[in-house]
């Protein structure tokens, strides 16, 4: 006789099993599992990576988030797979995750699976992030980001890639970025300009001359700055035109700053003319330019201006010029001391640091600054460490080691970081 009770029990068990199996396959349960795996760290990467093939886009997005949180080199490897996903948002997040591997803190941690909120996860700051100079970014990671730049699933994904290449100092990607300078897409153009600026390639600056007269103030300002930083003399005619016919005082000052940084003797007349400008910034920039071209016939005038100057900005430029011309006398009021002390100023420390970095390319002057470390303030030690890391040589190791063992933890950390950068630079 047929046992109906047994059949009902079997059917009920099968139904319950199917429900349980279905529950385990639901996206929200997979996302919960990914959240738990992410907390286990690097050992869970292979398990997380399996979810990158899931048909549900929210699960794949959560997998990218989990990989970022798990961290480690294996996560960066898996995120390259995410760069090939058909979802633009997963491509964007995967790129950000690769950057986060080299620049920790670039992405907010956590598995939320909120597609469309990539921008909220990336830690945007007033100062654009860039990897430290000693960090070597793997070619395969650069290649993955470059592929998104060229073949990304959306304009936003391509923009994320362009911005990431700037953060990663991806010099090898410059040929792919040059076309963006003519794209008429302001955000893309700015991303390409930034990548050129961070790449360290002087030759790349020549590609930006066409934007020195751009109608977008941000684009123009960045293009002007790049040609000054890399001292591109080919840009001088355009820069001179902007200075004489600029749309604003800001653009005119930016143009004169770039001309001063290039430091060509043919600009001497322009510098002399602006030494008496009522604009303190222009006076300082004119003095800076005269210092770079070594206009000794203007030294006496520069000394008089330095002693009587009422503007901190202009006085820094005049002090820089005098030091460049050989004025390195000791004393509390001499030009070199004035620049060094300005490292303590919230208003002027960036200008002072830039001037000292350039001056420190002279070995004797670096020796003079090394002698000041014993009595230097916290701000002076930290800035000097950064400067010596970028411009120093083997003779500066001992000074950086001393800063790295400073009793102040922040100073010591800066000294240790500077030592790493210097070691990466030197053979």
Instruction: Identify the pLDDT of residue 15.
Output: 40
Quick one: pLDDT at residue 25? 74
pLDDT (0 to 100) of residue 103? 93
Structure tokens at 29: 């349960």
Q: What is the pLDDT of residue 247?
A: 84
For residues 58 and 27, give the distance between their C-alpha atoms in angstroms, rounded to a whole number.
7
Burial degree of 73 (CB within 10 A; 0-12, 13-18, 19+): exposed
Give the pLDDT confidence score for residue 297 in this predicted structure.
97
% of the chain beyond a pLDDT of 70:
91
pLDDT in tens, 213-226: 999 999 999 999 99
Residue boundaries of the structural domains of the chain: 23-130
Look up residue 44 and give its two tokens.
């869970």
Looking at residue 10, its pLDDT comes to 43
Q: Which residues pair with 56 in a beta bridge?
A: none
Task: Give the pLDDT confidence score for residue 133 in this predicted structure.
Answer: 83
Half-sphere exposure of 116 (CA within 13 A, CB side): 0
What is the predicted pLDDT for the residue at 404?
97
Could you list the pLDDT tens digit for every one of the 427 residues in the chain? 445 455 544 444 444 334 334 445 799 999 999 999 999 999 999 999 999 999 999 999 999 999 999 999 999 999 999 999 999 999 999 999 999 999 998 888 777 666 666 666 676 555 678 998 889 999 999 999 999 999 999 999 999 999 999 999 999 999 999 999 999 999 999 999 999 999 999 999 999 999 999 999 999 999 999 999 999 999 999 999 999 998 899 999 999 999 999 999 999 999 999 999 999 999 999 999 999 999 999 999 999 999 999 999 999 999 999 999 999 877 778 999 999 999 999 999 999 999 999 999 999 999 999 999 999 999 999 999 999 999 999 999 999 999 999 999 999 999 999 999 999 988 7
Task: Look at residue 166 in the predicted model and tell me its pLDDT.
Answer: 96
């Amino acid at each position: 006789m047929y046992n109906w009770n047994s059949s009902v029990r079997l059917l009920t068990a099968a139904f319950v099993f199917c429900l349980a199996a279905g529950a385990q396959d639901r996206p929200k349960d997979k996302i919960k599992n990914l959240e738990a795996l992410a907390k286990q760290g690097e050992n869970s990467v292979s398990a997380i990576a399996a979810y990158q093939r899931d048909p549900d886009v929210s699960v794949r997005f959560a997998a990218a988030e989990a990989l970022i949180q798990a961290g480690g080199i294996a996560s960066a490897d898996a995120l390259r797979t995410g760069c090939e996903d058909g979802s633009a948002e997963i491509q964007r997040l995967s790129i950000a995750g690769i950057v986060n591997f080299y620049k920790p803190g670039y992405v907010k941690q956590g598995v939320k699976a909120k597609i469309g909120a990539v921008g909220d996860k990336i830690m945007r700051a007033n100062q654009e992030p860039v990897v430290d100079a000693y960090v070597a970014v793997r070619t395969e990671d650069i290649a993955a980001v470059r592929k998104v730049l060229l073949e990304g699933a959306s304009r936003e994904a391509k923009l994320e890639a362009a911005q990431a290449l700037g953060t990663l100092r991806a010099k090898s990607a410059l040929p792919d970025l040059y076309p963006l300078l003519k794209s008429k897409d302001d955000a893309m153009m700015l991303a390409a300009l930034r990548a050129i600026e961070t790449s360290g390639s002087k030759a790349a600056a020549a590609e930006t001359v066409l934007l020195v007269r751009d109608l977008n103030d941000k684009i123009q300002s960045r293009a002007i700055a790049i040609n000054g930083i890399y001292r591109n003399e080919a840009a001088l005619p355009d820069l001179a035109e902007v200075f004489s016919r600029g749309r604003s005082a800001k653009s005119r000052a930016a143009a004169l700053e770039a001309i001063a940084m290039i430091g060509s003797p043919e600009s001497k007349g322009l510098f002399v003319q602006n030494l008496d400008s009522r604009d303190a910034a222009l006076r300082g920039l004119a003095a800076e330019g005269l210092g770079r071209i070594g206009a000794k016939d203007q030294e006496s005038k520069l000394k008089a201006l330095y002693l009587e100057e009422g503007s901190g900005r202009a006085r820094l430029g005049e002090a820089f010029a005098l030091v460049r011309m050989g004025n390195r006398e000791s004393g509390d009021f001499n030009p070199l001391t004035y620049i060094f002390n300005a490292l303590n100023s919230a208003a002027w420390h960036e200008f002072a640091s830039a001037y000292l970095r350039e001056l420190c390319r002279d070995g004797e002057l670096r020796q003079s600054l090394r002698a000041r470390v014993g009595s230097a303030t916290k701000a002076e030690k930290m800035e000097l460490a950064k400067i010596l890391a970028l411009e120093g040589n083997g003779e500066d190791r001992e000074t950086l080691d001393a800063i790295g063992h400073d009793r102040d933890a922040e100073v010591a950390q800066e000294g240790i970081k500077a030592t790493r950068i210097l070691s990466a630079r030197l053979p």
